[in-house]
Structure 1
């Protein structure tokens, strides 16, 4: 079969752009209006996307009240696993992915939650594994500061092994439900975990049958050295953030090579770069949409967002029309901090210019549909991508435009499905169902 594109819809209602809630075509409180979120998911399902994906933070970033009071997403959005359960009952085929932290969760709770969602949805769940980002999250869990980078990933490695071990607590055929004999399950097919490690102690077993997919699909986005090694060992889909084709192609080859060192084939791990699109029937129409969005963002929010990506350092002490200063290594996302530095240095951007560009999201492509389709095909065939994580600056407008204007072109080129061929998220992604560790 000809290689086909995959798309996940990264839904951050009312949109990824920090001022999306102010756009005249958005619903400002979309993040907590279930019917609105469901309408986005149903649009993606009708378009035959592989999945919808919801990010998460378990705390509000430590910003000024003035800045926080001007943005919606970190202040007013659903807890994503709860949302997935509701969406599972109101959709039928699209995959459902949620972010959940290995730093500020316990593996038993998380394993049970995602197993339940996989059962409720008939095998459509995905777990985006993260180690969390900031001190604002740490303060909600009895810590003065976020756990150090190396310690976060050490716990994440063990956490993942515990969760997947719990999902294998029962063999696939353990449950007999034999009313005449009174045998509910075969005790020989139950496997307590009895795990004791450096970070975790979990006896098990999990009190629910093995998930329909064997395990929910594992997503991961780490781009640091530790993050890439973790992804190569455990991830089935890797989100990436490269903006130019050369770097994206290099990352694609590197992560597949790392996976091979763990005995994994190239098809066992998919790479989905982030792609944000603003399109219209003409270039002028697309640019007009972008320009109307840009005018909604207060400058202090743009500066605070830049500071957050750099690790939460105060940039107001430096001249806005001067260069980005050297700052200590971040304990948040080191790969993001380095990426921002490289962009500033290579292009000689001032702090003001960098803040404006970052707020626009430089992964956003603005142009007519054919140009967007050309970009996607070029990255797909390089290869630099197996699919894309589509980011929508404001909703529903940029989602509807992509579905109505770009997808028909990709279908005419034979690059994207016109129907679902399976029922589970693994079916959509072409991933095998994993065997139990005990089989």
Structure 2
């Protein structure tokens, strides 16, 4: 088996990543809030030796529309339940730096990491929705620059909190009566622009030291933040050329922060329609596309484009000039716009074709083919310097995850690029990431140690 190993996550999304998956006659839409449904999926992913499962999240309605399931349960709670019924699979949840407080988030993810024995990952987002902002007593979302400034301070505080107990702080010494060594538990005493937090965290250091830092987003602000902080990056690309350019850019940026680029895993999304033949896979894709409600997809597309497309007929070509201003990615709102603009420029689709293209996975790479063909795409991107692995985004759950784990994973294993057994028990070990030392482990003077009576 080769030294470099592919990473694979299952990105969980109720009935599937295709926006019309819930309308498929074999969908599990009635189980969208059944925890056993997600436990079963996680157990299948674990049996296939996948690195982790991932829940995205927005603290509000994902879309104000009746055309798609939008009532999603909070992900950390779901992952805690899944942790009790699994043993090795990583557990990654999204949480926003704009709408949490650092201490609260640090406790939640520390608890998940401790209870799961080291399998937690935090997908760090800043959230960009005015509608969500209005759920948190704000009239509008702060600017991208402001959100990322807050996010960096937030992450710095959370890191201090997760490190505030040194690894050997707990003594549990019955004879002396000391449960912990007060010299090894630290008040962080953070005073910043956005946060004032005394600490220490009311929990010992977790098995991974800290949950894995994951980041999603390809804006300029997002890339700088990711290069400085992230240990895994979820991203969207339609072509291997675009993916490789992003990969090279991020790896280069990590070096400017003095980081090892091998310790940043870049994981684009892939949404595979699978069949025994390519024709069968494409037939399934076309059928699910036929279930879409154009009004829903059009609303989503207009939200990305920032312009109205209501004047276009469904079978009319999308004018290239509508996206002429996308240019380089300048802020987080425009990163997905660039993906759409590239599709329009390259493929010149009709509006209907563009809506179908985005219906599958919101701009991520949708592939229809046999298990060998999908494995070939994964292998090409992995070995061609475009990805360290993938966020697998089945269009229909659980059927197309089963098709992936039963059909594609064995091929990747035969090729020697994906594990046949877990080598470790934590998400960090699955990703091949080091366990970080506490920032306080070599602290001098101990002036920040927690006082005891």
TM-score, length basis structure 2: 0.91
Shift of 1:83: 0.7
Shift of 1:134: 1.0
SS at match of 1:70: coil
- 2:292 is aligned, of 273, 286, 297, to 297
- 2:309 is aligned, of 315, 332, 338, to 315
Q: Which residue of 2 aligns with 1:243?
A: 238
Q: After the TM superposition, which segments of 4 or more aligned residues of structure 1 sit over 4 Å from their partners?
A: 317-320, 326-332
CA RMSD of aligned residues (A): 1.8
Query: Following the alignment from structure 2 to structure 1, what is the Cα–Cα distance between the partners of residues 295 and 333?
Result: 22
Q: Which residue of 2 aligns with 1:372?
A: 374
Deviations 1:295-332 (A, max 9, x none): 21111112112123335x54335665352636988976
SS at match of 2:227: helix
Shift of 1:341: 2.3
- 2:113 is aligned, of 91, 101, 118, to 118
Query: Following the alignment from structure 1 to structure 2, what is the Cα–Cα distance between the partners of residues 310 and 61?
Result: 17
SS at match of 1:29: helix
Alignment check: 8 A CA contact 1:232 1:262 kept: yes
Q: Does 1:131 align with 2:126?
A: yes
SS at match of 2:84: helix
Alignment check: 8 A CA contact 1:14 1:20 kept: yes
Query: Following the alignment from structure 1 to structure 2, what is the Cα–Cα distance between the partners of residues 148 and 318?
Result: 31
How many residues get paired?
A: 432
Q: Which residue of 1 aligns with 2:32?
A: 31
After superposition, residues 17-416 of structure 1 pair within 5 angstroms as: 17-61=18-62, 63=64, 68-72=65-69, 75-311=70-306, 313-316=307-310, 321=316, 323=319, 325=322, 333-361=333-361, 363-416=365-418
Q: Which residue of 2 aligns with 1:438?
A: 440
Shift of 1:61: 4.7
Name stretches of at least 5 consecutive residues in structure 1 with no aligned partner. Answer: none
Alignment check: 8 A CA contact 1:303 1:352 kept: no
Which is worse superposed, 234-243 or 22-31?
A: 22-31
Query: Following the alignment from structure 1 to structure 2, what is the Cα–Cα distance between the partners of residues 203 and 8?
Result: 36
Query: Following the alignment from structure 2 to structure 1, what is the Cα–Cα distance between the partners of residues 375 and 324?
Result: 39
Alignment check: 8 A CA contact 1:62 1:135 kept: no
Alignment check: 8 A CA contact 2:9 2:390 kept: yes
Alignment check: 8 A CA contact 1:174 1:189 kept: yes
TM-score, length basis structure 1: 0.94
Shift of 1:339: 2.3
Which is worse superposed, 382-391 or 343-352?
A: 343-352
Shift of 1:291: 1.9
Which is worse superposed, 26-35 or 96-105?
A: 26-35
- Cα–Cα, structure 1 residues 244 and 202, in superposed 2: closer, same or farther, change >3 Å? same
- Cα–Cα, structure 1 residues 435 and 97, in superposed 2: closer, same or farther, change >3 Å? same
Query: Following the alignment from structure 1 to structure 2, what is the Cα–Cα distance between the partners of residues 401 and 339?
Result: 27
SS at match of 2:283: helix
Alignment check: 8 A CA contact 2:16 2:22 kept: yes
Shift of 1:287: 1.5
Deviations 1:197-249 (A, max 9, x none): 11111111110001110000011012111100100011000112111111111
Deviations 1:113-133 (A, max 9, x none): 000000000000000000013
Query: Following the alignment from structure 1 to structure 2, what is the Cα–Cα distance between the partners of residues 236 and 192?
Result: 26
Query: Following the alignment from structure 1 to structure 2, what is the Cα–Cα distance between the partners of residues 133 and 332?
Result: 8
Which is worse superposed, 24-33 or 138-147?
A: 24-33
Alignment check: 8 A CA contact 2:238 2:339 kept: no
Query: Following the alignment from structure 2 to structure 1, what is the Cα–Cα distance between the partners of residues 137 and 80?
Result: 28
Q: Which residue of 1 aligns with 2:446?
A: none
Shift of 1:350: 4.4
